[in-house]
Amino acid sequence: MRIIVTGAAGFIGSNLVRALNARGIDDIIAVDNLTQGDKFRNLVDLRLDDYVDKATFYDDFARGHYGRVEAVFHQGACSDTMQHDGRYMLANNYRCSRLLLDACIARGTRLLYASSAATYGGSSTFVEDPAHEHPLNVYGYSKLLFDQAVRRALPGATVQIAGFRYFNVYGPGEQHKGRMASVAYHHEQQFRTDGRVRLFGAYGGYGPGEQKRDFVFVDDVAAVNLWFFDHPEARGVFNLGSGRAQPFNDVAVAVINSLRAPHGEAPRGLAALVAAGLIEYIDFPAALIGKYQCYTEADLTRLRVAGCDHVFAPVEQGVAAYVRRLREDPSLRSG
């Protein structure tokens, strides 16, 4: 069974390859762009049949160069929400994806792909419906444009097409992402280097550190992708978050307590950590005013109706597992 994973050296892509390997699947073609060479670290311990550069992959796949392929897990994209070059973003995130969609339909290959909660943008309702899709940046628009193409293609498609609107994913393998790495990753880095975690102060009607996001552990993201792989009848565009909004304070507390535990230090609550100076609040950045989502929470109704009953880890559990893996494998940190 041949599988292709695009963005395979990236954060979610490498975790998907690892999950496939755990099932004994290693006839995998990894597709990526290693201009940022340090991403190779995410591939070192994975079992692959081949590695292909993104520049040649899409045309070669459309020509049938790789033979019979069961499924493509399409994770390759520019995920930098601060990237303002719209021509680049649409060429990279939409045009490549559209070529792949057309080729998968023509060749009878299943397509499971990464969309994004950025498609909702300024909405306060996170349901997979055009009425709630209001992207705030060209990244979100590039993802929405492809979701729209998928919706048009689905009625006539004879193969599975499933897209996943990832919310705030965190976990091992994101060390190359720089400022786009998760809050949990940055908090772990801050506490190890500075002995404290910094959070935004009050903003948007929320108290210090109380802005809420749907934080989802990458192991859960991989598990849901594989559930759909096991259920080829499940098709459409789906939210993939925990379905639970938690404040940034929860992430900071989980990170700090997880780092303190190996030293025999008892866990502390938020108030105690703030009083001890281990959590510090900073003024909300003027540059983000009016451009910041204070609340996200995936509506999982469509996911559950499709039959996926996966149980997602809360921040306290997922972050503890993540910090433990960072401690065990220093290569998961940058530098």
Return the active site residues. Answer: 139, 177
Own/partner contacts of 265-271, CB < 8 Å, gap of 24 or more, are: none
Write the DSSP assignment of 215-246 as a string of letters: EEEHHHHHHHHHHHHH-TT--EEEEES-S-EE
Closest CA to 35 of 62, 64, 10: 10
Helix, strand, coil percentages (3-state) for the chain, rounded to 5, are 45, 20, 35
Rounded to whole angstroms, the Cα distance separating 320 from 327 reads 11
Is the CB of residue 113 less than 8 Å from the CB of residue 163? yes
10 Å CB burial of residue 142 (0-12, 13-18, 19+) is: buried
Encoding tokens for residue 215?
């934080």
The secondary element (H helix, E strand) that includes residue 213 is: strand 212-217
Closest CA to 149 of 161, 159, 136: 161
DSSP state of 26: -
Residues 6+ apart with CB under 8 A from 78: 88, 89, 92, 93, 139
Encoding tokens for residue 255?
């990170």
Rounded to whole angstroms, the Cα distance separating 333 from 181 reads 11
Q: What are phi and psi of 191, to 5 degrees?
A: -70, -40
The distance of Cα 277 from the centroid of its chain, to the nearest Å, equals 31
